[in-house]
Amino acid sequence: MEPNVEKVSEYLRTLQGRISIVLEAEELRGRFMEDTWESPEGGGGVTRVLSEGQLFEQAAVNFSHVRGATLPQSASEQRPELAGRSFEAVGLSLIIHPRSPFIPTTHMNLRLFLASGETPVWWFGGGLDLTPYYPYREDVVSWHRQAQGACEPFGADIYPRFKRQCDEYFYLPHRGEARGVGGLLFDDLASPDFDTCFQLVRSIGEAFLPAYLPIVQRRRDHAWGERERQFQLYRRGRYVEFNLLYDRGTLFGLQAGGRTESILVSMPPQATWRYDWHPQPESREAELADYLKPQEWLG
């Protein structure tokens, strides 16, 4: 079956709106600013950013639908036979950096690529992941349970496979640690057919709020001070390192002519680096290291 790009575009645009409304309802002070932009080669997008909120220090929920003459290297490196083809890409990307160190950062991306040619090629990609600073096992388990539930109707092998791919991708080799506690990651999803793949992508999109909001609501009233804030900023530095060194989505957006500000809004609004700093053994900060190792949370 041929891919219905407009159907995917409509769903992701609607999902952007629904997530924005829910996040605004949780926030006590800020509202989303909307920025509509055009791509130089065709198409464009809608960036929604909430800054300096009481609950969310920065949150972005971005929709894009762009076209280009040449598929960027970051999108074709796994499929070299498609290099040089023109393309169409539609996607939703969100990133939430909460103010409280006890609420994890989270990220979700859902996208559809269509590479033109005598035989057009399409595939879905995306996923969701969680990056805590002061982790709670209850939160990590509930996050993965929602991820598993989103995948379950499509086969018992989907969640383990997508989880493994997420663990492998969101890893900082120069630090020897994962970026967070994982979730789901998939790419080159084109089997068995378009409708089934799209249903799976929708299932993951619909799982985001039920997975994340309960964590926000459990931790939002935890008291924190300067020590916790400084540790959060220190760990955000690792987030920046991953996004600038390894993230294919960041590279694709820049190579595809997307709006730079909309791409780099995934960065935390503040971060710090400390030279050769390590937390005190057995401290609350030291606990995080035990979570930054791929493991079976639902085992």
Tell me which residues are annotated as active site: 107
Amino acid letter at 296?
E
Write 224-229 long-range contacts (CB < 8 A, 24+): 224/100, 224/101, 224/102, 228/101, 228/102, 228/133, 228/134, 229/101
DSSP letters for 281-294: TTSTTTTHHHHSS-
The pairing of strands 33-38 and 56-68 is: unpaired
Beta-bridge mates of residue 161: none
Beta-bridge mates of residue 100: none
Beta strands in the chain, from DSSP E residues, in sequence order:
33-38, 43-51, 56-68, 87-98, 105-115, 121-131, 171-172, 177-178, 182-189
88: left (phi over 0), alpha (psi -120 to 50) or beta: beta
Cβ-proximal residues to 211 (8 Å cutoff; 6+ apart), any chain = 128, 142, 143, 146, 147
184 token code pair: 């789901």
Amino acid letter at 275?
Y
Peptide bond into 153 cis (omega under 30): no
48 token code pair: 């929604």
